[in-house]
Amino acid sequence: MTDIQQTVYVVEDDEAVRDSLELLLKSDSKPVQTYENATAFLKDYSDKMAGCIVLDIRMPGMDGMELQKKLNEKHSILPIIFVTGHGDVPMAVDAMKEGAVDFIQKPYREEALLEKIEAALEQDREQRKSLGQKQEIIRRIKSLTPREHEIMDRMIAGQANKVIAIELEISQRTVEIHRSRVMHKMGTHSLAHLVRMVLSVKDLIDAR
pLDDT digits (tens, 9 = 90+) for 109-168: 999 999 999 999 999 999 999 988 999 999 999 999 999 999 999 999 999 999 999 999
Q: Which domain holds residue 150?
A: 144-207
Q: Domain tally for the chain?
A: 2
Instruction: Give first-to-last CA distance, the chain, whole Å.
Output: 23
User: Can you give the pLDDT at residue 31?
Assistant: 96
Q: What is the rounded CA–CA span in Å between residue 88 and residue 105?
A: 9
User: Where does a domain end: 129, 159, 183?
Assistant: 129
Same domain, 52 and 123: yes
User: Where does a domain end: 101, 129, 157?
Assistant: 129
Same domain, 123 and 151: no
Residue 113 lies inside a defined structural domain of this protein: yes
Read off the pTM.
Answer: 0.75
Residue 47 lies inside a defined structural domain of this protein: yes
Q: Which residues pair with 62 in a beta bridge?
A: none
User: Where does a domain end: 98, 129, 160?
Assistant: 129
User: Can you give the pLDDT at residue 88?
Assistant: 67
Same domain, 120 and 42: yes
Same domain, 163 and 202: yes
Lowest mean pLDDT among 17-31, 63-77, 94-108: 94-108
Contact 79, 120 (CB under 8 A): yes
Same domain, 89 and 42: yes
Same domain, 117 and 14: yes
Residue 182 lies inside a defined structural domain of this protein: yes
Q: Which residues pair with 11 in a beta bridge?
A: 35, 55
Split at pLDDT 50, 70, 90, the class of 1 is very low
Residue 138 lies inside a defined structural domain of this protein: no
Closest CA to 108 of 78, 89, 81: 81
User: Can you give the pLDDT at residue 95?
Assistant: 78
Same domain, 53 and 93: yes
Residue 69 lies inside a defined structural domain of this protein: yes
Which distant-in-sequence residues (6+ apart) come within 8 Å of 98 by Cβ?
A: 65, 68, 69, 72
Same domain, 122 and 152: no
Same domain, 24 and 119: yes
- Residues 3-54 pLDDT 10s: 679 999 999 999 999 999 999 999 999 999 999 999 999 999 998 899 999 9
Dihedral, CA atoms, 113, 116, 117, 123, nearest 10 degrees? -170
User: Can you give the pLDDT at residue 101?
Assistant: 85
Same domain, 20 and 77: yes
In DSSP notation, 165-186 reads HHHHTS-HHHHHHHHHHHHHHH
User: Can you give the pLDDT at residue 94?
Assistant: 78
Same domain, 115 and 151: no
Residue 137 lies inside a defined structural domain of this protein: no
Same domain, 149 and 173: yes
